[in-house]
Chain A
């Protein structure tokens, strides 16, 4: 079991010294400097995707100590484990259809990228295949979160966006996701019941089964949480970087001390962990603690073999949100990370 977050675990495996870049970047390495002027000062920072009008905002979450799991009584959520989480940026919103479309459609992706004076070879980028049926079941479009993508697809997008922007953007670990959720939702430890204050608060911050009318909603149409995040609970469930493992917390607790940046590194395709619940979720499942596992059933109506690496036919309720470590790993370590999670 590897307890260290993986770009680091990988480093250890391949014997690359775990030296991290500082959070401070030289301006020459970052595109669209004017739009990320606040990057170093740890306040919300807007990033425009080069060559487009699409931008997104990253919100800093200060690292610290917390408890992963606990609260929910079933065994997959027990015991609560003390963890230490490094500071990171997290996207204010789930990744939008608009942003993903720049990656999905080659003709919308321009060469204007210029990180470290280099252009991204847009023709060499692996891009999503065209799905035979609409993975969003008719629900997405401009202004909506992208849905129905596989975790691999989300990670391919993250690598592309990292190469375009010079940021190291990736999916959060389960622990990072939970830490960010709790940071803005002090009630997030427990789950809501009818008549509770918690439920009434969720009805203003989240889209879920009782108010969603069983469909996806546009980004930013509910209230922010205390950290300024939108839709962290509800609307679409969010991919994390972890293998779903019922025994993960038990294994972590065996170490006896706070684990730094834990990650259950995947060794198989399913199940992996998604977090946050969706427009389909019952209110009781909208909790910062609740873990959900992916399944091959999310592809069950894909009639082709091999089934699509990029799209699920039956998970229009799953999307993702990216994070960026405040102390990003080195370029070599990042390359090793992408090799590890994307298979070369």
Chain B
């Protein structure tokens, strides 16, 4: 249930503190030497051993991008909740017909005994690898990130990095530990690795259009995939397969997709909102296969300087599609990424991104370049957590219909995650007798 308050599940808060303290202790004694040569750290023959946790389409893409960097890399272990997903991922990575076949050739060695399946599969990867790629559904991110940092691994993890406040707090805590351990952490907010955005945001931060009083951010699209319920599935398996529509796994589309645009808003403003209010609901995507999430949200965010960010996200076919960011300043506007205009409409900056490098590849090139050189350069987890919580704050505002204050909301007690991770266990939200899920109701839903 979305409203049910209960203690943090999985690792209890007390255990977490105990565990992390122990880890910190170890690290103070033996910190990762940031200037060490790769051979001082890596396994035999200087190969950087990579493990993939979460073998869906995006995880498979991340693995191929890692293997397409120029460093000496090998994919040696894979983990997923489902065997079929893992096997098809491995097939796609190693397919001789694929466009990436040449780049990946000779870099994949995942014997059967290094393919781990189930909820705890991720734990078995750590002893085998130097770097983990984490691309499971977002609800698991805090757990997997914590375990990876505890095991001392460099990390690429996808956005968003949690689905509730408890998860966000864990990611912030873990990010601190990762810093102390000099572990490179890259988060898949790939606009930070895209030339068009880097130059554009730099100009905006440097005041090219003066003080920015209004930001507008959008992810209005037709929506994403739906996976039908199959005979014989337990409720837990069904939700794990059709994860986009369950908050504990996905966070709602405002979190799962719109995070990219909210993150750009924060990036330009060099901060995060202090409060949010908004509205949302389900009008078009209302079937049983659509779980509990909304199909539209409109949120007004307020930053500490009083400026506002207006945020729209919608998953409805046949409406105007728009995925972009725009900023209005005292001396001009930035109507779309790569373009900045003066108040009178003169072009102050223009960058055509069509020939930019693929940012999904750049983020791996940079991460693995740093790892191979023994450098400590990337600490994206905090930014990822801030962007994620910006989105969660918006969701809390639209679900509740109330003003949500950042400082209060981030301390929200309880967790929306399951009490037990097993395929025969009940997930935290269950269908009624007709197969419908409880939908948040503004004015009634207090916390989500």
Contact = CB atoms under 8 A, between A and B. Distances in A.
Contact of B321 (A134, A142, A301): A134
B60 A304 contact: yes
A342 B31 CA distance: 56
B57 A130 contact: no
Contacts of B224: 130, 132
A140 interface: yes
Interface in A110-163: 129-134, 136-142
Contacts of A296: 99
B222 interface: yes
A305 interface: yes
Contact of A304 (B58, B95, B190, B257): B58
B44 interface: no
Contacts of B62: 303
Nearest to B135: A303
Nearest to A314: B354
Contact of B323 (A101, A138, A142, A306): A138
A305 B359 contact: no
B360 interface: yes
Contacts of B100: 305
A141 B321 CA distance: 8
A130 B359 contact: no
Contacts of B323: 133-134, 137-138
B225 A141 contact: no
Contacts of B321: 134, 136-141
Contact of A142 (B58, B221, B226, B318): B318
Contact of B222 (A130, A137, A269, A307): A130
B297 to A, nearest CB: 17
B24 to A, nearest CB: 34
Contacts of B420: none
A99 to B, nearest CB: 14
A129 B225 contact: yes
A257 to B, nearest CB: 37
B64 interface: yes
Contact of A138 (B89, B188, B324, B360): B324
B442 to A, nearest CB: 27
A16 B221 CA distance: 47
B60 to A, nearest CB: 4
Interface string B198-229: 00000000000000000000001111111000
Q: Which of A133, A296, A301, A305 has the most CB atoms of chain B within a 10 A radius of its CB?
A: A305
A133 B315 CA distance: 11
Contacts of A309: none
Contact of B57 (A101, A105, A269, A304): A304
Nearest to A302: B61
A134 B221 contact: yes
B276 interface: no
Contacts of B58: 303-304
Contact of B61 (A130, A131, A137, A305): A305
Interface in A53-90: none
Interface in A302-333: 302-307, 314
Interface residues of B, number: 36
Nearest to B352: A214
B99 to A, nearest CB: 6
A136 to B, nearest CB: 7
A105 B284 CA distance: 14
A266 B220 CA distance: 37
**Interface range on chain A (Cβ under 8 Å from partner):** 20 to 34
B64 A305 contact: yes
A96 to B, nearest CB: 13
A305 B57 contact: yes
Interface in B350-376: 354, 358-360
Nearest to A101: B318
A133 B221 contact: yes
Interface in B89-117: 89, 92-93, 95, 98-100
B317 interface: yes
Contacts of B56: 304
B266 to A, nearest CB: 21
Interface string B252-290: 000001000000000000000000000000000000000
A277 to B, nearest CB: 16
Contacts of A134: 221-222, 321, 323
Given A296-B99, A303-B61, A306-B98, A141 B320 contact: yes
Contacts of B221: 133-134
B359 A301 contact: yes
A130 B223 contact: yes
A25 interface: no
A295 B320 CA distance: 28
Nearest to A131: B222
Interface in A244-271: 269
Interface string B306-349: 00000000000110111110000000000000000000000000
B92 A141 contact: no
A301 B223 CA distance: 18
A269 B221 CA distance: 28
Contacts of B220: 138
A305 B99 CA distance: 10
B313 to A, nearest CB: 13
Contacts of A304: 56-58, 60-61
Contacts of B222: 130-131, 134
Contact of B317 (A105, A301, A302): A105
B318 A306 contact: no
A2 interface: no
A201 interface: no
Contacts of A269: 99
B199 to A, nearest CB: 18
B22 to A, nearest CB: 36
Contacts of A132: 224, 257
22 contacts: A101-B317, A101-B318, A130-B222, A130-B225, A132-B224, A133-B221, A134-B323, A136-B321, A137-B321, A138-B324, A139-B321, A141-B318, A269-B99, A300-B358, A301-B359, A303-B61, A303-B190, A303-B360, A305-B92, A305-B98, A306-B60, A306-B95
3 closest cross-chain pairs (CB), A and B:
A304-B57, A305-B60, A134-B321
Given A130-B222, A305-B61, A305-B92, 7 more contacts: A130-B224, A134-B321, A139-B321, A301-B358, A305-B98, A306-B57, A306-B98
Interface of A: 101, 105, 129-134, 136-142, 269, 296, 300-307, 314
